[in-house]
């Protein structure tokens, strides 16, 4: 979601703050702002839209100062405009905020009755007014900060500077992440370690309930009662990643084409390429001993978990309960300590997923985190970390993180099958061999299908509605294909289990309805062909994604047939992800949308 950066430095900070915000653009935002203290005075620049609008304003009106805070906003309370953009100022107090102040309405009524005048529609402004009120009542900066934190409730990362203290930045975390960066004679903070990578590699992560007082010489961390806390610093790997599109038009395109190499690295963490075996599980979760598995996640990560459910149940004979985290956390699902739970999140900070994790932990389950950020909150609160090793994913629409999640879940399911005696040594070697061959096959597919899909996407961009169908593990891919298309091209799309076609969606089929059918020549193929016949009989335009055997077996007319190599079932979800990603990407490009930062979306959803 929103990006936050702060610097207490020894040289002008406005330019460095904006550069750091640029590294957080992938999170999604609709306005940006920066504030500094110079000659005892707070000043700020804010702009709607993209960062270049803020940069233009800074070029026209430079902002001096060696201490400052900056923010990219993703609107929750109040429309996206300059007035609602952060930082918010009230009587010498400047605040930036990620999250939601749940009791803001109650606090706002109280403040207004005391004479406060609000300029924005945001929940954040109540924080600035509270701090200003406490300062007028004679409290010190620290006292005012703690008093405010004991009044607000919700999920928040808050960063504050006071006009009469040009040497200190204060921050607090309860939900959304905040990281402190340690420098030499200067200090930094950010909502993501990637933002701080140009400045430092030494990072301290705040945890829920932490308040930080940061000066040039270091940071003091206290709880909301003012009692000192100790948080260890660590070396972040964020600096190792270059956030650069290279020769590609968009980050999404780059990340699609990175997948063969990235997945090869990820698989190397879980399988032995020489012996074609899954490496021994060194985690605290014994898949051979658990009675069941609970999986929860949001968005694309949930869909990878849905594929994982098929694998764990088929290969490990392990019952799996799965739900989207926003539902899972409120279901009061009866769970047993004999079970384990897996939580999947690219960022490792997804609020609903984290809440679901904590619910399972309270029930005594061992917790596994399938995450891309090993220093994230979900990782830190888990018993076992299963990193997907995708590197930073900048495009809001997940691509390489999705396929890396799938690769990791496949390896875990095979390993669980061996541990439970449901996968033989011969089966393990055969499946791992297929996984080892997957990066090469992915490279071939990306090179071969791109021209056909680019041409097809031009035609697809003319339609307003699209259906996706699939069976087995191709059903979650149908859901993922529909999600990708609608989130970046804004074409309405829906994914269905192919067997559900007659239970409603068939009413939509006519000559204006493209139907994308994902059907490798597997044990479900003949059933899916029957559904295709029902579509063809009603004039539907079929885009058939299949393999060489499937293309040869089907005689039905299609709008297009995308033919992939024949592959084993264990790797088909990763291979078939490629055409649905490219189809969404090129369609969005033809429609002229903002591919990397689609409207209304954020990369990391750190509030409900």
Residue pLDDT, tens place only, 532-565: 788 877 888 889 999 999 899 888 888 899 999 9
Query: Does 404 score more than 60 pLDDT?
Result: yes
DSSP-derived secondary structure letter, 505: G
Confidence of residue 605 (pLDDT cuts 50, 70, 90): low
If asked whether residues 326 and 228 sit together in one domain, one would say: no
The neighbour count for residue 273, using CB atoms within 10 Å, is 13
Q: Is residue 600 part of a domain?
A: no
Domain co-membership, 338 together with 471: no
Instruction: Please indicate, yes or no, if residue 547 is contained in any of the structural domains.
Output: yes
Predicted confidence at residue 242, as pLDDT, reads 45
Neighbour-count burial for 431-451, b at 16+ CB within 10 Å, e otherwise: bbebbbebbebbeebbeebbe
CATH at 476: 3.40.50.10490
Work out the pLDDT band at 243, boundaries 50, 70, 90. low
Q: SS3 for 32?
A: strand
In a domain, 366, yes or no: yes
The pLDDT of residue 184 is 92
Mean pLDDT of 239-250: 62
Q: Residue 419 belongs to what domain range?
A: 248-423
Active site amino acids? 2, 603
Mean pLDDT of 118-146: 96
319 and 413 belong to one structural domain: yes
3-state secondary structure of 157: strand
For 363-396, the pLDDT digits (tens) are 999 999 999 988 888 999 999 999 998 888 888 8
Beta carbons within 8 Å of 494's beta carbon, 6+ residues apart = 466, 467, 468, 482, 505
Residues 12 and 64 in one domain: yes
Residue 599 lies in a domain: no
Same-domain status, 403 and 506: no
Percent with pLDDT over 90 in the chain: 65
Say whether both 13 and 67 belong to one domain.
yes
Three-class secondary structure of residue 487 per DSSP: helix
Would you call 255 helix, strand, or coil by DSSP?
helix
Give the number of domains in the chain. Answer: 3
Cα 177 to chain center, whole Å?
Answer: 13
Both 150 and 17 in a single domain?
yes
The answer to whether residues 329 and 215 belong to one domain is no
pLDDT exceeding 70 applies to what percent of the chain?
96
Contact criterion met (CB below 8 Å) for 88 and 129? no
The pLDDT of 17-45, averaged and rounded, is 89
Does residue 433 form part of some domain? Answer: no
Residues 226 and 260 in one domain: no
Classify residue 490: in a domain, yes or no: yes
Q: What residues have CB less than 8 Å from 277, skipping those under 6 apart?
A: 271, 428, 429, 432
In DSSP notation, 329-357 reads TTS-----TTSEEEEEESSS--HHHHHHH
Going by pLDDT thresholds of 50, 70 and 90, the confidence category of residue 219 is very high
DSSP H or E stretch at residue 272: strand 271-272
Whether 409 and 520 share a structural domain = no
pLDDT at 1 over 70: no
User: What phi and psi, each to the nearest 5 degrees, are found at residue 36?
Assistant: -135, 165
CB burial of 531-540 (b: ≥16 within 10 Å; e: otherwise) equals bbeebbeeeb
In a domain, 429, yes or no: no
What would the pLDDT profile of 310-321 be if each residue is shown by its tens digit?
Answer: 999 999 999 999
Whether the predicted pLDDT of 600 surpasses 90: no
| Residues 300, 280 within the same domain | yes
Q: Reply yes or no on whether the pLDDT at 244 is more than 80.
A: no
Whether 355 is in a domain gets the answer yes
- Considering the domain architecture, whether residues 454 and 582 belong to the same structural domain is answered as yes
Using 50, 70 and 90 to split pLDDT, how confident is the model at 518?
A: very high
- Residue ending a domain, among 224, 240, 256, is 240
- Of 394, 302, 395, the closest CA to residue 584 belongs to 395
Q: What's the chain's average pLDDT? A: 90
**Domain containing 218 — which CATH number?**
3.60.20.10
pTM over 0.85: no
Q: Give the end-to-end CA distance of the chain in Å, rounded to a whole number.
A: 11
- Sheet harboring 154-162: ordered strands across? 88-90, 93-101, 154-162, 169-174, 210-215, 218-222
Tell me the mean pLDDT in the region 288-302: 94
């Amino acid at each position: 979601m929103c990006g936050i950066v702060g610097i207490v430095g020894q040289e002008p900070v406005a330019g460095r703050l904006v550069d750091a915000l640029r590294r957080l653009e992938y999170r999604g935002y609709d306005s940006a702002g920066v504030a500094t203290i110079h000659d005892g005075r707070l000043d700020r620049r804010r702009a709607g839209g993209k960062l270049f609008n803020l940069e233009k304003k800074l070029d026209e009106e430079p902002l001096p100062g060696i201490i400052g805070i900056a923010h990219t906003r993703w609107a929750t309370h109040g429309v996206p405009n300059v007035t609602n953009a952060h930082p918010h100022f009230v009587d010498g107090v400047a605040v930036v905020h990620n999250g939601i102040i749940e009791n803001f309405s109650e606090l706002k009524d109280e403040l207004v009755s005391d004479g406060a005048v609000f300029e924005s529609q945001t929940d954040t402004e109540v924080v600035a007014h509270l701090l200003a009120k406490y300062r007028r009542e004679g409290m010190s900066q620290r006292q005012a900060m703690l008093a405010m934190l004991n009044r607000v409730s919700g999920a928040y990362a808050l960063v504050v500077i006071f006009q009469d203290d040009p040497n200190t930045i204060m921050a607090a975390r309860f939900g959304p992440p905040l990281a402190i960066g340690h420098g030499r004679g200067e200090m930094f903070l950010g909502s993501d370690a990637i933002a701080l990578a140009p400045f430092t590699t030494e990072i301290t992560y705040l945890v829920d309930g932490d308040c930080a007082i940061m000066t040039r010489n270091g940071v003091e961390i206290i709880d909301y009662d003012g009692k000192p806390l100790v948080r260890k610093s660590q070396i972040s790997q964020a600096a190792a990643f270059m956030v650069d599109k290279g020769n590609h038009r968009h980050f999404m395109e780059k990340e699609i084409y990175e997948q063969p190499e990235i997945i090869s690295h990820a698989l190397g963490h879980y399988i032995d390429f020489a012996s074609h075996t899954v490496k021994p599980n060194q985690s605290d979760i014994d898949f051979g001993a658990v009675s069941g598995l609970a999986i929860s996640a949001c968005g694309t990560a949930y869909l990878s978990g849905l594929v994982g459910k098929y694998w764990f149940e088929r290969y490990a004979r392990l019952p799996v309960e799965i739900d989207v985290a926003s539902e899972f956390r409120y279901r009061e699902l009866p769970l047993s300590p004999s079970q384990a739970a897996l939580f999947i999140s690219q960022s490792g900070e997804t609020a609903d997923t984290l809440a679901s994790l904590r619910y399972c932990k309270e029930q005594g389950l061992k917790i596994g985190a399938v995450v891309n950020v090993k220093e994230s909150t979900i990782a830190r609160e888990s018993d076992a970390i299963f990193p997907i090793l995708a590197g930073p994913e900048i495009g809001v629409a997940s691509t390489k993180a999705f396929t890396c999640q799938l690769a990791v879940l496949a390896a875990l399911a095979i390993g669980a099958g061996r541990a439970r005696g449901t996968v033989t040594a011969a089966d393990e070697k055969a499946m791992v061999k297929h996984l080892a061959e997957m990066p090469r096959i992915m490279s071939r597919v990306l090179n071969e299908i791109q021209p056909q899909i680019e041409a097809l996407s031009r035609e697809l961009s003319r339609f307003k509605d699209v259906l996706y169908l699939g069976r087995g593990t191709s059903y979650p891919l149908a859901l993922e294909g529909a999600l990708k298309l609608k989130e970046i091209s804004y074409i309405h799309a829906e994914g269905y289990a192919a067997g559900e076609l007659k239970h409603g969606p068939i009413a939509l089929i006519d000559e204006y309805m493209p139907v994308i059918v994902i059907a490798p020549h597997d044990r479900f193929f003949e059933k899916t062909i029957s559904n295709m016949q029902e579509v063809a009989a009603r004039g539907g335009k079929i885009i058939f994604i299949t393999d060489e055997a499937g293309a040869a077996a089907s005689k039905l007319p299609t709008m297009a047939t995308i033919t992939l190599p024949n592959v084993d079932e264990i790797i088909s979800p990763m291979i078939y992800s490629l055409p649905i990603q490219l189809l969404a990407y090129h369609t969005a490009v033809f429609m002229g949308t903002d591919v990397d930062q689609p409207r209304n979306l954020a990369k990391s959803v750190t509030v409900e």
